[in-house]
Amino acid sequence: LGNIGPLAAKPVMEGKGVLFQRFAGIDVFDLELDAPDPDRIIDVVAALAPTFGGINLEDIKAPECFYVEEQLRARLDIPVFHDDQHGTAIISSAALLNALDLVGKRIEDVKVVFSGAGAAGIACARMYLDLGVRPEHLLMVDTAGVIFRGRTAHMNPYKERFAVETDRRTLADAVRDADVFAGVSTRDVLTPEMLMSMAP
């Protein structure tokens, strides 16, 4: 929905609270911050932290979300979870492992393409690497194309970690012969022709 502001985001946060209670028995209450500055978010959350047993961040855009999470983890002695990153990565990784089991492929052999290099894409890619995907078998594509070593347009330190040596530059190039497509950007980016170019 984009940057809709704290009041419009409140129903989403309340819904997350219901999920925490229903599925984990965790009582929560939501706090929406009208604080677009990452350092202000960090200071406010850190000041409130003694009240909580854990912090669940939600809907902070990339790359600021990585900075906010890193700073809070360094400053606090309670769990800090960013749902857009970690929740998506957990679910996506479970799907990946189950899919590989179903098709009889080994994680270290598959080629993976991500469409999207924001909070969800970066977090999922990190977890895929932790699970055994080889770095040279993982391509990330954002609005400027494939994230390759030496690219300077639309880069940040978080994307840089996934820059690889490749001559592929577009999503269509990237998915050719790939085993896995992870779409964490927008809809309708993978065409039927691209799908047909992927590995069987």
Is the domain of 74 the same as that of 91? no
Domain end, chosen from 61, 78, 95, is at 78
Per-residue confidence (pLDDT) for residue 33, from 0 to 100: 93
Residue 25 within any structural domain of the chain: yes
Domain end, chosen from 78, 98, 118, is at 78
Task: Say if pTM beats, i.e. exceeds, 0.85.
Answer: yes
Q: Name the β-bridge partners of 56.
A: 81
| Cα separation values, 167 from 39, 99, 149, 174, Å | 38, 28, 10, 9
Is the domain of 121 the same as that of 186? yes
Domain end, chosen from 78, 104, 139, is at 78
Is the domain of 188 the same as that of 94? yes
Is the domain of 58 the same as that of 35? yes
169-178 contacts at long range (C-beta below 8 A, 24 or more positions apart): 169/145, 170/141, 170/145, 170/146, 171/113, 171/115, 171/141, 171/145, 171/146, 172/197, 173/146, 174/113, 174/139, 174/141, 174/146, 175/113, 177/111, 178/111, 178/112, 178/113, 178/139
The yes-or-no answer on residue 61 being catalytic is no
Residue 1 within any structural domain of the chain: no
More confident: 83 or 44? 44
Say what percent of the chain tops pLDDT 90: 90
What CATH number is given to the structural domain containing 108? 3.40.50.720
Is the domain of 98 the same as that of 138? yes
- In order, the DSSP letters of 65-123 are HHHHHHHHHHH-SS-EEEIIIIIHHHHHHHHHHHHHHHHT--TTT--EEEE--SHHHHH
Judge whether residue 2 has pLDDT over 70.
Answer: no
List pLDDT tens digits, range 80-107.
999 889 999 999 999 999 999 999 999 9
Is the domain of 120 the same as that of 72? no
Judge whether residue 175 has pLDDT over 90.
Answer: yes
Per-residue confidence (pLDDT) for residue 3, from 0 to 100: 67
> Which member of 16, 61, 105, 111 is catalytic?
16
Measured between alpha carbons, how far apart are the two ends of the chain, in Å? Answer: 35
* Enclosing domain of residue 72: 6-78
Judge whether residue 24 has pLDDT over 90.
Answer: yes
